[in-house]
Amino acid sequence: MDINSLSDKELCEIINTDKYDCELIAEADAVRRRYYGTAVYLRGLIEICNVCKNDCLYCGIRRSNGNLDRYRLSKEDILSCCEQGHKLGFRTFVLQGGEDPYYTDEVICGIVSEIKERFPDCAVTLSLGEKGRESYAAFRAAGADRYLLRHETADDAHYSRLHPAVMSLAHRKSCLFTLKELGYQVGSGFMVGSPYQTADNLVEDLRFLQELRPDMIGIGPFIPHKDTPFRDFPGGTLELTLRMVAILRLMFPTALIPSTTALGTIHPLGRELGLKAGANVVMPNLSPVRVRKLYELYDNKICTGEEAAECKGCLERRVQSAGYEIVSARGDVYGFDSKPQ
Ligand code: 5AD
Ligand code: FES
């Protein structure tokens, strides 16, 4: 099947198949093996703060959630997570957090440049939400290599049902294009099965990604959080998420696609199945255990009780059992080494 020649309607039909689609998944696995073999890249996730000025309706750390202790990691905390991670073989650190004005550009640049200085063989990925061009440029100059910012949904009307009126899809998109212009390896993505989402919306997500051409694509099922307005909505399903992973692998043969924690949360073997459907990245949690439970974007998030080494060991076994192997390289996107830097 040539996925790129399919019409919107044909894509919709694949999306709407209500089962574990063996054929599609086998095709996706073959494509992944052609480019990446059995390699699975490791990213150490450091959740730097759960303070957020935004109020996204789906998210457990939204501003209006008063039922949550808020925390911020200091530069020293973050560096010690990196140090521990580096000893464990991590060569990418992902600093993720809410949109928190406490972390000014200066603070972030200070953290990034010190990580790059102390661990020059490592890549730094930021996932800190929407910022202005100057901020993104400053982070890049300080040494940040990659940036993750999911678009969440590429349909304007759907976007406005998931977010407060002060946020807009147009702004989100413009941030993504700015990040590309600044030379970041860029990651985007969306939730599967978010409230009000239709199969047409998912096709729009795919079309937007074709336009953006991101290096990384992160997707996971929507999972309701008890302290959000979406508490009573059903979550996204395993089957649909796996189908979307497989479609993404076929459309973007060289993309870095994580098998996400959300996928592991809705099914005990969710991440193994994600890898088999074409995902080639895993992101063990490196955050200090004392704050883990506080970064609960959705209910019942896994990996909140384990130390970094345990979480990495656990994922290593899972990756192996699925028939792949963790590699300890930086894991830049395919062809990156031959691109001018
Ligand atoms: N369920 C699933 N994923 C969620 N995210 C935020 N809230 C939820 C939820 N309730 C995802 C968003 C965000 C990423 C960091 O986590 O897609 O971009
Ligand atoms: Fe994190 Fe199993 S993967 S504890």
315 pocket-lining for ligand 2 (C-beta < 6 Å): yes
Alpha carbons 287 and 313: distance in angstroms, whole number: 15
Ligand 2 site-directed mutation target among 269, 303, 304, 320, most atoms within 8 Å of CB: 303
Question: Phi/psi class of residue 170: alpha, beta or left (left: φ > 0; alpha: ψ in -120 to 50)?
Answer: alpha
Which secondary structure element, helix H or strand E, spans residue 177, and what is its range? helix 169-181
Which-ligand-closest: CA of 283?
2
Sheet with 123-127: list strands edge to edge. 44-49, 92-97, 123-127, 146-148, 185-192, 216-221
- Mean of all residue pLDDT scores within the chain: 97
Mean pLDDT of 160-181: 98
Q: For residue 120, which of 102, 143, 103 has the smallest C-alpha distance?
A: 143
Checking if the pLDDT of 339 tops 60, the result is no
How many CB atoms within 10 Å of residue 171?
11
Whether 65 has a pLDDT exceeding 80, the answer reads yes
What percentage of the chain reaches a pLDDT higher than 90?
95
107-161 residue pLDDT tens: 999 999 999 999 999 999 999 999 999 999 999 999 999 999 999 999 999 999 9
CA 171 / ligand 1 centre spacing (Å): 18
Beta bridge pairs of residue 285: 45
> For residue 338, what pLDDT band results from cuts at 50, 70 and 90?
low
Q: How confident is the model at residue 72 (pLDDT cuts 50, 70, 90)?
A: very high
Query: What's the pLDDT at 317?
Result: 98
Say what the pLDDT of residue 20 is. 85
pLDDT at 21: 86
Decide: 280 and 245 in contact? Cβ < 8 Å: no
**314 Cβ below 6 A of ligand 2:** yes
Which of 127, 130, 191, 300 has most ligand 1 atoms within 8 Å of CB, for mutation? 191
Q: How many CA atoms lie within 13 A of 306 on its CB side?
A: 14
Q: Is 59 in the pocket of ligand 1 (CB under 6 A)?
A: yes
> Which tens digit of pLDDT belongs to each residue from 202-221?
999 999 999 999 999 999 99
CA distances, 81 to each of 75, 91, 147, 285, 288 (Å): 10, 12, 19, 10, 7
What is the pLDDT averaged over residues 297-315? 96
**pLDDT for 251-266, tens place per residue?**
999 999 999 999 999 9
223 CA closest ligand 1 atom index: 1
Which residue owns the Cα nearest ligand 2 atom 1? Answer: 311
- Which residue is closest in CA terms to ligand 1's atom 7? 59
Tell me which ligand sits closest to the C-alpha of residue 97.
1
DSSP bridge pairs for 310: none
**Closest ligand by atom to 321 CA:** 2
- According to the model, what pLDDT value does residue 153 have? 98
Cα–Cα distance, 335 to 339 (Å, whole number) = 7
Per-residue model confidence (pLDDT) at position 335: 83
Ligand lying closest to the C-alpha of residue 99:
1
Alpha carbon of residue 99 to chain centroid: 16
Residue 264 CA: nearest ligand 2 atom is 3
Delineate the domains of the chain, giving CATH numbers in brackets: 3-328 (3.20.20.70)
Q: Of the bound ligands, which one is closest to the alpha carbon of residue 150?
A: 1
> pLDDT tens for residues 15-48?
998 788 899 999 999 999 999 999 999 999 999 9
In this predicted structure, the answer to whether residue 247 has a pLDDT above a threshold of 70 is: yes
Is the minimum distance from the CB of 230 to ligand 1 under 6 angstroms?
no
Q: If you measure from the C-alpha of residue 4 to the centroid of ligand 1, how many angstroms do you get, rounded to a whole number?
A: 28
Amino acid making up residue 224: P
Which of 314, 317, 321 most suits a substitution to test ligand 2, by most atoms within 8 Å of the C-beta? Answer: 314
Atom of ligand 1 nearest to the CA of 235: 1
